[in-house]
Structure 1
């Protein structure tokens, strides 16, 4: 009887241990489910971060392209401004050759040509008469100029 009673106690203790083990396993299952949901959330977050990093990478590539285009435009603008400066200098030099508002143009050569004697009005009429000695009507018109 004592053995049966001791066995019963041990079986009771075993049942209690099995009950506790069941409860512990239940808690383990709950914890594993929580860990599973956390891992799923981490995976979703990692996927979102990967998508975000892809977008950031695309934006950086676009910025790089725009920066390269801007650098090319700055280079072209610099070349154009240098060309414009050279053309403005040449234009200033060319305009500097004109004399505006002066009554007499300054000769460029240091040697002056000898002055030609001026023709008198009578000599001018004679020259015109010689040029138009083609007919009597022309001669009559020129005769009027002699008196003038």
Structure 2
């Protein structure tokens, strides 16, 4: 009777509990299998991550080498730029010196031009007896020297002779004779 009913209820509960336990064990087995699979995948991912980190370390080392080369090149460029800057400064100084020398040359040229004008004016005041301006004698070809030959008259001697001829010998009294002149 009554005990059998109670036992049947307990037995059905035990059976239901056993079924639930079996289902839970199946679920746990599936979870363990899935977890094992995921752990395997995780291990593979960790291995790939390790490889990626090694590649990153290698890339960082390459970047470090490139940055070091860039720094060295920058130092070389800075040195080159300093040398170029020094050369440009030197060229500027030389250009300024040249400009100053050109200014000095221009001033000297203007002064020389003024002095040449004054000299030309002063020479223009000299007149010969027949009021003809003094002309330059034509150059003669050199003559062969002989044992008794005297040197060719120099420009001052020719001038003295012209003055002597123009003033009728009055200049001869105040001017030394042609033999006293030395050749320039």
- Confirm or deny that 1:25 pairs with 2:53: yes
TM-score by length of 2: 0.52
Counterpart for residue 148 of structure 2: none
Counterparts of 1:75 and 1:103, CA distance in 2: 45
Counterpart for residue 85 of structure 1: 113
Structure number with higher relative contact order (C-alpha < 8 Å, ≥ 6 residues apart): 2
- Confirm or deny that 1:68 pairs with 2:68: no
- Aligned-residue Cα RMSD (Å) equals 1.9
In structure 1, list runs of 5 or more residues that go unmatched.
105-148
What is the aligned length?
Answer: 104
Counterpart for residue 110 of structure 1: none
1:3 to partner: Cα distance = 4.3
TM-superposition CA deviations, 1:82-124 (whole Å, max 9, x none): 1111111111111111123x258xxxxxxxxxxxxxxxxxxxx
1:10 to partner: Cα distance = 2.2
Counterpart for residue 49 of structure 1: 77
Structure number with larger C-alpha Rg: 2
In structure 2, list runs of 5 or more residues that go unmatched.
1-28, 132-184
TM-score by length of 1: 0.64
Counterpart for residue 44 of structure 2: 16
